[in-house]
């Protein structure tokens, strides 16, 4: 087996997991969600295998670098981080119904990487600026942060579709309580904020060694800072102002829009030192 086969199969396994979760939610069958969770773990293991094989293949081709060097590899790794984070959440909170909002994010990221004609999936040599021991630490930290924000985004959407009337008979009435959703959103933002902060710090140290400056106001750096500020505001409003509920859910959604622009918008619309990503 090679990495392409492993990652392609992981894409379809994640899709199957999403289908089981959505089926469980639609038909009120808990057994389907349990199957979906097992399938999700299988997809995660397959995703892990694909990353390891791609790393090995890089060395076999003489490039010898971690598989975090381009858009394809970063999307694959994002799916991996989002999957493991959601697996942890479900194991901890035993609320498998929330998988209907989390697993599609995992699937869509790796599906876009695998199926989009605009993304090159070939293993390529690193450009000089990326040849650093800081690559792994910086990328892992940033994408753990992005994964936390992605899961928080899914929880924020849940907050708005959950009926406010406890007697409602809507299909969304069986979602966890609004208090639990709010707490889950907060915890995921705290997790994401911590790792995004680490990612920015390691990126600054790396930039100084690569380009001789810790901060150059490159578009990626600027939008990473904007994203950090949005989530810092979220935490300030929660801890200092006592905000809960819909207002914070909107801030979480706004923050994830900033994440998406930092990741996709900067790469495709703006040029800078990070355009190779």
Q: Residue for token digits 């996709």? A: 264
Compute how many other C-beta atoms are within 10 angstroms of the C-beta atom of residue 174.
11
**pTM for the whole structure:** 0.92
Nearest residue to 64 (alpha-carbon basis) of 54, 79, 77:
54
Tell me how far apart the alpha carbons of residues 120 and 141 are, in angstroms, rounded to a whole number. Answer: 24
For residue 271, the model assigns a pLDDT of 62
The DSSP symbol for 62 reads T
Tell me how far apart the alpha carbons of residues 141 and 32 are, in angstroms, rounded to a whole number. Answer: 33
For residue 268, the model assigns a pLDDT of 76
What are the C-alpha distances in Å from 134 to residues 32, 157, 171, 239?
Answer: 42, 35, 47, 33
Tell me how far apart the alpha carbons of residues 110 and 68 are, in angstroms, rounded to a whole number. Answer: 14
For residue 76, the model assigns a pLDDT of 96
pLDDT mean by block of 10 residues, the chain; 277 residues: 93 97 90 96 98 95 88 94 96 90 95 89 82 86 96 95 81 87 96 97 87 84 95 95 90 97 81 55
Q: Residue for token digits 């979220």? A: 234
For residue 128, the model assigns a pLDDT of 74
Compute how many other C-beta atoms are within 10 angstroms of the C-beta atom of residue 165.
8
Q: Are 170 and 163 in contact (CB under 8 A)?
A: yes
For residue 274, the model assigns a pLDDT of 58
Tell me how far apart the alpha carbons of residues 181 and 171 are, in angstroms, rounded to a whole number. Answer: 16
Which residues, in sequence order, are CB contacts of 133 under 8 Å at separation 6+? none
Please report the beta strands in 161-251, taking only residues with DSSP state E, as ranges in sequence order.
none
For residue 230, the model assigns a pLDDT of 98
For residue 40, the model assigns a pLDDT of 98
DSSP conformation letters of 44-57: HHHHHHHHHHHHHH
Which structure tokens are listed for 194? 């911590």
Which residues, in sequence order, are CB contacts of 252 under 8 Å at separation 6+? 149, 152, 153, 155, 156, 185, 189, 234
Q: Are 224 and 197 in contact (CB under 8 A)?
A: no
Q: Are 40 and 103 in contact (CB under 8 A)?
A: yes
């Amino acid at each position: 087996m090679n990495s392409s086969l492993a990652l392609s199969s992981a894409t379809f396994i994640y899709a199957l997991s999403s289908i089981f979760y959505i089926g469980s939610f639609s038909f009120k069958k808990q057994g389907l969600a349990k199957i979906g969770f097992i399938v999700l773990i299988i997809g995660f293991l397959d995703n892990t295998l694909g990353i390891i094989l791609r790393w090995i293949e890089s060395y076999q081709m003489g490039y010898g670098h971690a598989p975090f060097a381009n858009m394809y590899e970063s999307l694959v790794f994002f799916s991996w981080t989002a999957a493991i984070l959601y697996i942890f959440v479900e194991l901890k909170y035993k609320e498998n119904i929330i998988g209907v909002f989390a697993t599609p994010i995992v699937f869509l990221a790796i599906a876009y990487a695998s199926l989009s004609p605009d993304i090159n999936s070939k293993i390529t040599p690193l450009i000089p600026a990326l040849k650093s021991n800081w690559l792994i630490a910086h990328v892992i930290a940033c994408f753990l942060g992005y994964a936390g924000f992605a899961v928080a985004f899914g929880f924020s959407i849940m907050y708005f579709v959950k009926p406010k009337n406890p007697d409602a008979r809507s299909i969304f009435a069986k979602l966890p309580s609004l208090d639990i959703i709010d707490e889950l959103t907060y915890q995921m933002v705290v997790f994401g904020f911590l790792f995004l902060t680490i990612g920015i710090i390691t990126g600054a140290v790396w930039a100084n060694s690569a380009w001789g400056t810790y901060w150059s106001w490159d578009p990626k750096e600027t939008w990473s800072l904007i994203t950090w500020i949005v989530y810092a505001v979220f935490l300030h409003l929660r801890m200092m102002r006592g905000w809960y509920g819909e207002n914070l859910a909107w801030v979480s959604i706004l923050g994830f829009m900033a994440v998406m622009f930092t990741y996709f918008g900067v790469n495709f619309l703006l040029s800078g030192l990070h355009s190779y990503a």
